[in-house]
Structure 1
């Protein structure tokens, strides 16, 4: 039995111990599939906080199961299929690479509702959801531009998908707005969660002169490296302050609790429908962790103004003119990038070194 399936069996067994057979039949079973461990202190941890919120608010009506450390690909399809075949009526699959496996299983189980995080393909029984992570990257990019002394910012990327590329671009636009001399250097680790690779990427970027590190990966490994080297760093998905209290400037924190509770309620009352949800600051799907006390007051004030302006619709992360690396205007002055442009972004803006991997 594979590790992921062992996790499912263990989770199901634990649930069976907690409720009687008759009670379990009466409750709707809700499943969650995570790409990393819930102990990653980042992305999967935050999704599991959403699951726990469902249990807390709706525990008399539902039981939940989660499977962690599920690789993207064939393993994901097997795990999702096992959840659908074992009576789960609503299943959340929480990583980009789970998109096609989710759709395949959904076709075989039209009576089961599925929700896929960060994807774009839907069907009658498959909804999609994500957060506008790029909004928060605008705020931290501005902070990075003001805090760097070397004018080299390191960025650890997971996979070169539009979600990650648009985040790099939003970060860089805001950084260059306050510091036109600053540049971003990206190291791709081709993994969502690999502490060893993430730590090595942070070290490589620091060796290239970076004095601020940002990341779009799931572990706190880079936070620990920055703390050891005496540099600045931003956390990802969760507040990672405890892994580097001196180095950690703030973090983009994902908050899935309200979304999960509302969608499970919809499944229970019959109002659930396939839809796409893409929420930002104003939708409470993300927020910023507390600022490091070492940040100057004017930097914090400017960051808060940017965050508030985005939330109130007074500022957009991709407000033209926006130029790509060649200097070509991609978003004209007076225009904003459309959602479609952001969701297909496969190019870098001025200020990012290197090329987007193909």
Structure 2
């Protein structure tokens, strides 16, 4: 079966081939497990840009492989195992639901290094890494609050895990600061990538009066629906610039490339060790896409000032006073989530005061 056929079948794809590097050493084999297709223009697309950056950085010193559209659960464990059996030295598993499968496979392959995105379980040969997406959602939340005319913002959410709940809360807090009359409606679609479900969710929110759509899912379907309705939306995980300047008026971008290049380098030079990385706007793991000229100049300036404050640490996206949805105090005046070692963020399972509906179990 040729490479084109393998890709079409959604099976294992090989990147940089070659049996030995120019210096005669065997190349370091690096694998990636993706939850969506590399053409989603969102989450998986950006992880794949990281793979390409690894190839560019190391040339024939690395051999890359990947498998796309791997369901979370038992299928993931089989895919990770297959990659380890094929001789991978380092495997990146790039979705929260791969956490237990990664840990299970790592126990069987102690000489293979594993890196799991957005999870919290580690082992001697398993690192974890994630981005502070909530910082980016604070910035686009501010823009959304300023841009809505109906004061209704729709939010398409994937799964009720802390990462997603943090993003909803951060976007809402900053939209509310920008516009005290704003209301959020959240639709849970229980998928990372399903253009049909995402498009239907966007339409349902628009039917409820939302004139700005935000999302924590990976396809461009919400952008297409927003364009048809003549309302605004934001790119998710990548720039989604094909929909600029409207409906896409800015975006949150995940830049994994520097991390992947560094971690592959650590395996190659023997310095790799199990670590936990959680970076945001400051280190560049989270970026804000170009803010369209559809956004008024003063709003753009405010958003960029917020981005700068988050980047240099002079402001934290979760700064009190903030109450939980039931009115109980989460952060008192002047307190930030960082004051508690991020513990409250890592396990966030509640909405902040003002949001309606429940966080699903």
Task: Give yes or no for contact 2:21–2:60 (8 Å, CA) kept in 1.
Answer: no
Q: How does 1:132-281 map to 2 (within 5 A)?
A: 132-243=132-243, 245-281=245-281
1:334-353 residue pairs with structure 2 within 5 A?
A: 334-337=334-337, 338=340, 339-353=342-356
In the aligned structure 1, how far is the partner of 2:20 from the partner of 2:255?
33
Q: Deviations over 1:131-188 (max 9, x none)?
A: 0000011111111111111111000000010000010001111111121111111000
Secondary structure at the aligned position of 2:114 is classed as strand
Aligned counterparts of 1:253 and 1:41: Cα–Cα separation in 2 = 11
CA shift, 1:249, in A, is 1.1
Q: How much has 1:107 moved relative to structure 2?
A: 0.1
Shift of 1:291: 0.8
Query: Take 1:290 and 1:263, find their aligned partners in 2: how far apart are those partners?
Result: 28
Unpaired segments ≥5 residues, structure 2: 1-5
- Whether 1:310 aligns to 2:310 is yes
Q: In the comparison of the two structures, how many residue pairs are matched?
A: 353
Normalised TM-score (structure 1)? 0.95
Query: For residues 181 and 356 of structure 1, what CA distance do their matches in structure 2 show?
Result: 22
- Structure 2 vs 1, CA of residues 21 and 303 (structure 1 numbering), >3 Å: closer, same or farther? closer
What residue number does 2:359 align with?
356
1:79 is aligned to 79
TM-score, length-scaled by structure 2 = 0.94
1:102 aligns with 2:105: no
Tell me the residue number matched to 1:287: 287
Distance in 2, Cα, partners of 1:228 & 1:6:
33
Moved over 6 A (4+): 21-25
Partner of 1:19 in structure 2? Answer: 18
Provide the rounded CA distance (Å) in 1 between the counterparts of 2:355 and 2:185.
Answer: 6
| CA shift for structure 1 position 244 | 5.0
Cα distance, 1:8 vs. partner? 3.9
